[in-house]
Amino acid sequence: MAPSAVAAPSRHPATPPAVQTLTLTESLPGFPGHRDYVLVPADPAGVLCWLQSVTPEGPRFLTVAAAAYFPEYVPGLPASALVELGLADPAAAELYCLVTVPGGDVAAATANLRAPLVVNGDTHRARQVVLTDGLHPIRRPLRR
């Protein structure tokens, strides 16, 4: 399954990546009251996704699929978060990192690896998990 996904040319995806509705078990810090979002692919390969509140005038965030940008990123997720999201297998968690583009300068863009959005793709429940291991930066440069 995974190898075929890798082999598929990202420029011509057979099927466009799907839109996911997400229910957050806890609102994002800084955005209280917003729990219902949609995760919408923002590029043909589906490595960038908008996390868009369903509320009119609600917040919108750009996220990167952590597996696509940071293959080595395998953070230890707290057991409490896994239980809350109903993730029996931590490897089944889909991780998205929120992107910041300071001053609109894409060369300076960073992703938040400290607090990934953890998604259970089966139940569409998600939450931003703040890692406490001190290993993962809040501002990891996206440019290589």
Partner 1 sequence: MLTLTRSVGETIRIGDDIEVHVVEVRGGTVRLGFKAPREVTIHREEVYRQIAEANLLAAQVTADSLGALAAFAPSASAAEAVAGEPPAPATQTAEDASA
C-beta of 3 vs 30, nearer to partner 1: 30
Rounded Cα gap, residues 46 and 40, in angstroms? 9
C-beta of 15 vs 132, nearer to partner 1: 132
Q: How many helices (H) and strands (E) does the chain have?
A: 3, 9
Is residue 143 within 8 A of residue 109, CB to CB? The reply is yes
Give the interface with partner 1 as residue ranges (CB under 8 A).
6, 9-11, 25-26, 28-31, 42-43, 45, 47-48, 59-62, 64, 68-69, 71, 80, 83-84, 98-102, 104, 106-107, 109, 112, 114-115, 128, 130, 132, 138-139, 142-144
Task: Supply the minimum distance, in Å, between the C-beta of residue 80 and partner 1.
Answer: 5
Furthest-apart CA atoms within the chain: distance in Å? 41
C-beta of 124 vs 139, nearer to partner 1: 139
Rounded Cα gap, residues 84 and 45, in angstroms? 30
C-beta of 18 vs 60, nearer to partner 1: 60
Task: Supply the minimum distance, in Å, between the C-beta of residue 102 and partner 1.
Answer: 7
Task: Supply the minimum distance, in Å, between the C-beta of residue 91 and partner 1.
Answer: 19
Helix, strand, coil shares, percent, the chain, to 5 = 20, 30, 55
C-beta of 19 vs 101, nearer to partner 1: 101
Q: In a 3-state reduction of DSSP, which class is residue 107?
A: helix
**Enclosing H/E stretch for 65:** strand 60-65
